[in-house]
Every structure is written in structure tokens, then in C-alpha cells.
Structure 1
Amino acid sequence: MGPDSCSSALVCLSGGVDSTAALLQCSRLFSSVRAVYVQTGHRTPPEQAYESCRQLGIEFSVADARVLFNTQIKQFTLDAYRSGITPNPCALCNARVKLAVPFSMLGHGECLVTGHYAGNSVSTLERGMDSTKDQSYFLSLVPGEILDRCFFPLAKSHKGDVRAEVLESGLPFLERESQDLCFQRAGAGVPGDVVDTDGNTVGRHNGLDSYTPGQRKGFGAHNGRKYVVRLDILRNRLIIGEEEYLYSEYCILNSINWLNKPVEEKFTCMVQIRYRKTAVPADVFLNGDGTQVVVKFHRSQKAVAPGQVGVMFLSDSVIGGGIIDRYEGDTYA
């Protein structure tokens, strides 16, 4: 959606430079604009958000999503860490809270606007033009019915230009960018053994919830460079080893959010397994109902972490995203 297909806009406003730029652009593109701050924790809307709306003559409101965030994101994330997997709360939050709540507020003919660096059209999600800021990965779990009502005005913008535009407008914005976990992982984990790939005990860990595959620190000094290879939840053991043990030929994607589901049971696409990792070619095998797929990478990938988001791309379009799990089945041809 966009100004060609809707007359009004609801802008998700955090007070940061990107959402402020989206607000500014919408004030020029739409006949009617309102803004909402989705509150997920103790932080209240920053004064910059109020002031930007005041200067532009835009209605500003706060949506209290704290209970939903605590149950759908915070508790889920803490439980996941305790289960020895590495979740991606930001991607989950976009799908379940940050876009879902304002989506429920939309009126007839109103589109939902955010400051994400991504593009979309009907039933598609595409990479943003600024490859250093592209956020399609973090939006891959957002249901298609929500994306179909979204407009991303920064889709073809570069970060430097966005900042310059807001500075020139005189609108205030927060200088900091939110990149860290927005809640504390309270409580200590259960200590256990650190073992090597041969099963020898070589040390102690302070709780598996502090580790993720590929990690190189936090488990003591050992001969040579060692990495976290796997978390053994059943026996509360941290398995470490050389880099060669980090590589996986396969993984599973669960709970897939299909945006453009292929009709073939096997297809080839690009798969991205972490935000800062480059998408790589892989063969994908669908199960019966398509809620789960097996991914066979053309080249084994390092530190494939269960719980992280795996995103499937055809060219620059997202066809689906899911949650990574370890594959322990038969070899696929």
C-alpha cells in the first residue's frame, strides 16, 4: 500500500531518526496522518516524538502493549535461552507486537507506516535499497495480511540521506539507535560441565543461557582457539571444539511464515541465517503441509544457531521466514 492506494496513514513513531523521517515524508504524502508509540516496557514516549508531531500538526497516541510484550516476547525469549536456543526477539516482536498492535488500530483506507529499510508490494517483502541497513530479515515473520497494509517510505533511501533530510527539517529525534535487547535477562543459569568434542570434561560453565554456537569467549582458556559447538540441554553440558565442528550442511526451518510459497516440493533459493550474514544458495525441501522445511546448503555454513531466524529469498524478495532448528535426519540428495 501507499499514497496511491490509501488516503491516510498511521505511523509507528519511536522518536528515532528513521521513524521521524517516515513521519515527515507521510506528512507530505497523505491528506491525513496520525502517529502511535507502541510501549513495550518502562520507557515512555520520548519528548522528541511529541515535539515532532506538534510541529507537524499530527495527532499522537500511545498504545500500551506491555502485557502482550511480556507474554509473547519477553517470557518466550527467556524460556528459549533456558532451553539452550538463541532466539531473535526483534523479529518476533515485529510480527507479534510492534506491527501487530498498530495493525489492529487501522481504519478503512489507512496504511501502516514504519521507518524500516525494506520494500513491499502486494504479498511481497523486498530488501531495502541500502544494503547496509536492509531490515527485510527482521520483517520476515510478519504475516502477509499485515505487510499488505504496510508502507515503507525508506525502501529506496540511504541512511545518510535520511538523517540529512530530518536535520534539514528541524524536527528533533533521538540520537541513539535501538540495537540491544530491550529487557534484562535476569537470573543466573545452572552451572555445568564444559566438554570437548570427545566428551572429556575441560571446565565449568555458569549456565547454558549465556552461550550460543560460534561463541569464542566465556568458557575459560583452552589449548588452541575453541568455539561453542553445541549446547547439550539434557545433560547441561557446553560442548566446545575447533572451528571445523561449527559447520552444518543442513538445518530445519520451523513455523514458516510464507509470503510467496513455491508450488514445488523442492526448490533452490538464497537462505540467510543471521542478520549480519550474507544469504547463501541452498536447496529447500518442503514437508507435507509446508510448515517445516529442510534446508541443504550448497556449502556448509558456520554456526547455524537453533532459535535464530532463517529467511528464504528469491532475488531480493522474501518468500518466507522461519525458526532454525538442528537437522538430524537422513541425507537428502
Structure 2
Amino acid sequence: MAQVMVAMSGGLDSTMAAALLVEQGHDVTGVHLKMADTPSGLPGKGCCTLDDARDARRVADRLGIAFYVWDFADAFAERVVEDFVDAYAAGRTPNPCVRCNERVKYAALMERALGAGFDRLATGHHVRLRTDADGTVHLHRPVDDGKDQTYVLYMAGQDQLRRSAFPVGEHRKSELRAMAAERGFVTAAKPDSHDICFIPSGDTAGFLSARLGRRPGPIVDVDGTRLGSHDGAYRFTVGQRRGLGIGGLDEPRFVTGTRGDTITVGRRADLAVTSVTAEDVTWTTAAPAPGQGGLTAQVRYHGAPLPVALDLDGDRMAVTFTGEQPLGVAPGQALVVYRDDECLGGGTITATAR
């Protein structure tokens, strides 16, 4: 029997993570992280509202386990929200869920849990772990590939994976809902969270505008022809088609990139990327061998895995897409490398080539 801390967001997945571990006989303690003052009663939210904290406590009471609320709001604001704003200001497109797991919800909580004497940290992430005879732990996609969250945990290292538990990764979401209903949990029918938890309105442009102000600049075609103007490059992301404020063209234009305050747009074909450079690269086990085949990569949370070839240089890698080319890849996104269904690691995209 292990002493396990379970991160309880107040959603279905963390509910069942806690329940499954209790039923396996572990000594379980639930912890809810207060990370943002998100109003209650918002559809699509499932980790940061007062309602979520209450739901997590109800589940813990039903399970008969100790439950605490830890205030991580300052760390979240500094390491996730400020990073989000700074990235957009610099012309990058960050993934706040990756940053949250990397810096707060998984990594920082793991450190706190181990420091408090727990043997393991458990979460409701849909991933699976497989351990070799020599103790090496491998991070794999879950049973329910439609809920796969390996993309946001690519930065997990061996020390962390050995002290982690992800019990829901062995079950499909529909199965978890049925199991929660059978046990009478208030979260059984709760919808999945979506959108950015610290932007409850869903208005990312408005959120950024309030912090970055008006920063006008031109919108130009790929050949340099000026087509219009804008009030802030941070309002646009690579691949965006709507809301550009330009019209009367022979075919739609998409944002292909930003440079300073200049937004460049092009046709759909101009979005195709042949290669990317990623930095701050980490590996869950060890870096792939030079020239190793059979590798794929994702450039989005729910993106398709595409065949790639890697050229590694320390914590930097150049990635060439050897088959289908992804569209609309932006600096700031995470690039995550796989071999079959195993997540090998990844990094942050810093440059793209077309």
C-alpha cells in the first residue's frame, strides 16, 4: 500500500483516479489546487472554479479520504498566465495547458507531494505507464485515444514518472462515467473542461488587449503587398482566416506569420510547413538514436501524428516532416515526438520553414 496524493480538480477523471486508488487499497489524500479566481457557473470549465472545489470535496467526503485546498494562484499567475501574455507579445502561440503541467499542476505539485512524504502523485490524465524489468518507465497513449493527454506531459522525466500514477488511462471515458454513476459521484455527468481556464469569457483577444494595449501595424501578403492594418499582432495566430479585416481578394487569406508588428497572410498552400526547430527539448526516457526511423510528431494537442526525421543537438532539435506536412504551425507550440503509441519527449517550436 502506497501513500498517494491525488490532484482532484473537481472533474470526472480526477474523481475516478481517486476512487480507483482507494479501491486498490492505497492510502489516498485529495488535494485541490486553487489556481485562478474563475467565477462559478461557467459552462466548459472544470478545474478552477469554486464549484469545482466543492465538487472535489464532496467526492473526497464520499470516499472517506482527507482533502485539502492548496493555493497555487501566485505560481500559476507567474508561470502560466504571465508566460502566456509574454509569448503572445513576442509573436508566439503558447499552449497554456502544457505550461501549466510543466510548471504547476504536475511538476510543482509533484515536488510538493514528495516533500510532504507521499510516495506518489496521481492525476486524472489520460495516459498509461509501462515499466521495464530494469525500472525504466515509458509514457504511452491511453486506452481512449480520443482523450489522449500525453502531449501535455511530454516533459515528464524518469524521476517524475516513477513516482506517478495515472489510473484512468486504462479506461475509456464512457466507462469512467458509468463507473462514477454506479458509485453515486456528483461528477458522473459533469462535462469535460475546455477553453483556457483563466479566460472564462473565451475572449482571448480581449484578455490580451487589456494587458498589451493597442499596437497597430500592417497586414501584408506574402509578396509584401499591403492589404490592411490591425491593432495588435497578438490578436492573430498562424492559420487564422476570420477577422483579418481584408476582403475583395481572389481567394481567402490565412495568417502565415508575424514579424514585429507586421502580420503576413497567404493562401492555404502557404501554411504548409516542411520542417521546424524546437528548443528546451526533454525526453521521457532517452533521446532517439541518430537516424532512428518509425518516429512521428504532433504539433497540436489533438493533432495527427505525422512521420518525421530528427536531427538532435543537445536540447535543440530540427524536425523534418517526411510525409504529410502540417498546416499553420506557429512558434510557441509544443512539438511532441512518438514511437508507435509511446511519447518520447518534445520541446517548444522556435522556428518553422516552408
Aligned equivalent of 2:281:
256
Offset at residue 73 of structure 1 (A)? 0.8
SS of the equivalent of 1:324 reads strand
| Residue 83 to residue 255, structure 1, CA distance change in 2 (3 Å) | same
Residue pair 1:36, 1:102 contacting (<8 A) in 2 also: no
RMSD (Å) for aligned C-alpha atoms: 1.8
Cross-structure match for 1:213: 238
- Flag the structure with higher helix content: 2
* SS of residue paired to 1:267: coil
Deviation at 1:109, TM superposition (A): 6.1
2:33 aligned counterpart, secondary structure: strand
Equivalent of 1:51 in 55, 58, 62: 58
Q: Report the CA distance between 1:112 and its aligned residue.
A: 1.0
Q: Write the distance in 2 (CA, Å) between the matches of 1:60 and 1:9.
A: 12
Report whether the alignment pairs 1:14 with 2:9. Answer: yes
In the alignment, the residues of structure 2 paired with residue 67 and residue 204 of structure 1 have an alpha-carbon distance, to the nearest angstrom, of 37
1:195-274 paired onto structure 2 within 5 Å? 195-222=220-247, 223=249, 224-233=251-260, 236-262=261-287, 264-268=289-293, 269-274=295-300
Runs of 4+ with deviation above 4 angstroms: none
* Alpha-carbon displacement from aligned partner over 1:133-176 (angstroms, at most 9, x marks no partner): 11111111233322221111111211111111101110112724
The 3-state SS of whatever aligns with 1:301 is coil
Q: Distance in 2 between the 1:216 and 1:96 partners?
A: 32
Q: Which moved more, 1:98-107 or 1:64-73?
A: 98-107
5 Å-filtered alignment, 1:76-115, equals 76-103=83-110, 104-106=112-114, 108=117, 110-115=119-124
- Normalised to the residue count of structure 1, the TM-score between the two structures is 0.91
1:183 matched residue in structure 2: 198
Deviates more, 1:63-72 or 1:75-84: 63-72
5+ long unaligned stretches in structure 1: 1-5
CA distance in structure 2 between the partners assigned to 1:230 and 1:31 by the alignment = 50
The gaps in structure 2 that reach 5 residues or longer are: 38-48, 131-135, 200-206
Q: Secondary structure at the match of 1:283?
A: strand
Question: TM-score w.r.t. structure 2 length?
Answer: 0.86
**For residues 218-273 of structure 1, what are the alpha-carbon distances to aligned partners after superposition, in whole Å with 9 as ceiling and x for unaligned?**
1124311111111112xx11111101111111101110121122363343311111
2:340 partner letter: S
* Number of aligned positions between the proteins: 320
1:44-80 Cα distance to aligned partner (Å, 9 max, x none): 4522111111111100011211111111111111000
Question: For residue 127 of structure 1, what is the amino acid of its counterpart?
Answer: R
Q: Residue 140 of structure 1 aligns with which residue?
A: 154
Whether the aligned pair in 1 keeps the contact of 2:298 and 2:337 (CA below 8 Å) is yes
User: Whole-Å Cα distance in 2 between the matches of residues 318 and 62 of structure 1?
Assistant: 31
Letter in 1 for 2:333: Q
C-alpha distance in 2 between matches for 1:308 and 1:56:
39
Alpha-carbon deviation of 1:277? Answer: 1.2
Can you list the C-alpha shifts for 1:169-220, whole angstroms capped at 9, x where unaligned? 1011272432111224342441211110111111112211111111111112
In percent, how many aligned pairs have the same letter?
A: 30
